[in-house]
Amino acid sequence: MNPSQKLLVLYTGGTIGMQASETGLVPASGFEALLRAEQATQPQRQLPAWQFAELQPLLDSANMSQASWLAMRDAIVTAVDADGCDAVLLLHGTDTLAYSAAALSFLLLGLPVPVILSGSMLPASASASDAWDNLFGAMQLLAVGVTPGVYLYFHGKLLPGTRASKLNSEALDAFSDTLRPRHGQRAAELPASLHYRQRRRPVALAVQPLFPGLSARQLGAVLDSGVEALLLECYGSGTGPSENLEIIDLLRQAHRRGVVLAAISQCPQGHVEFGVYAAGSALAASGVLSGGGMGREAALGKLFSLLGCGLGQAEVERLFALDLCGEMAD
């Protein structure tokens, strides 16, 4: 944990740098000038030396995609391995900030420097904006030193990238750790296939919340759409419609043809423990994996990384069940 002396500020868009248009706020270039001007007005802040880069095209984070995650990963790896940066601050829109923090946590396993994602609920140009407190707060932490890993910094809180969720659409204190129980087993070592230098490919993923009335026809349409993995958002401790034998059979057939099936709890502070109820045991018997205490963001990011590096179904399932970077174990 060393103080940063060469920080990359990577600007990807988002509310923090948005400007008004006829249709509403839109991403805009020119944020480096705003940042340098604001820093000049706050000389008391101890910030590391930094350089700036824009990742084009700038995005409203509602338009975030797997391709964007891979582009962020590439830019970060180049900055560290080729340019010698010792920390990265990634500026990002808040709508999908937690998703990107989780995805990058798994895409950057083994990276020897800290990466912090941040943004703001109000544009930097707005009065009473939270932009500068978030941005300079993250930079000040890096100036002191942060342990290598991926984090989300917002409203004075530094959160692990695999444990953050956006819980409020308006409040400045929008992000938090939902404090799900995490009792998983840690991986003994990081497989070479998951190292940050390992390139990834896009992956066909889907999320299916369970709800009373979900039909086999609806679920079958998702499973037959070409997905490589399906994340089920289950009730409580990981239960589902076990008496609907058509649904159970669909899951079993999908698993047999290579689709990775995983489950998380719909409860904000829940975790999956299949053996508690028979309705959960039936899902496990059909090939569904427990996501333990992972939230949606972490589970999706983990599936994306594991499948994206070309691992087969059995190895994906083995590694999905192990804690890789704090997503499943405290």
Which of 15, 94, 96, 162 does the annotation list as catalytic?
15
Whole-angstrom Cα distance, residue 23 to residue 2? 44
- pLDDT band at residue 27 using 50, 70 and 90 as cut-offs: confident
pLDDT value, residue 198: 96
**Residue 71 identity (one-letter amino acid):** A
Is the pLDDT assigned to residue 21 strictly greater than 90? no
**147 classed as catalytic:** no
Is the pLDDT assigned to residue 26 strictly greater than 90? no
Domains of the chain (ranges plus CATH)? 7-177 (3.40.50.1170), 185-323 (3.40.50.40)
Share of the chain above pLDDT 90, in %: 92
Residue-averaged pLDDT of the chain = 96
pTM above 0.85, yes or no: yes
CA atoms lying within 13 Å on the CB side of residue 326: 16
Pairing relation of β-strands 24-26 and 19-21?
antiparallel
- pLDDT band at residue 201 using 50, 70 and 90 as cut-offs: very high
Return the exposure string of 256-280: e unless at least 16 CB atoms fall within 10 Å of the residue's CB, then b: eeebbbbbbbeeeebbbbbeebebb
pLDDT value, residue 304: 98
Burial of 211 (0-12, 13-18, 19+ CB in 10 A): exposed
pLDDT value, residue 24: 84
Is the pLDDT assigned to residue 9 strictly greater than 90? yes
Q: What letter does residue 187 receive in the DSSP assignment? A: P
Whole-angstrom Cα distance, residue 315 to residue 300? 17
Average pLDDT in the 101-105 region? 98
Q: What is the pLDDT of residues 123-170, one digit of tens each?
A: 998 989 999 999 999 999 999 999 999 999 999 999 999 999 999 999
Q: What is the pLDDT of residues 245-304, one digit of tens each?
A: 999 999 999 999 999 999 999 999 999 999 899 999 999 999 999 999 999 999 999 999
CA-angle at 92, arms to 89 and 97, nearest 5°: 105
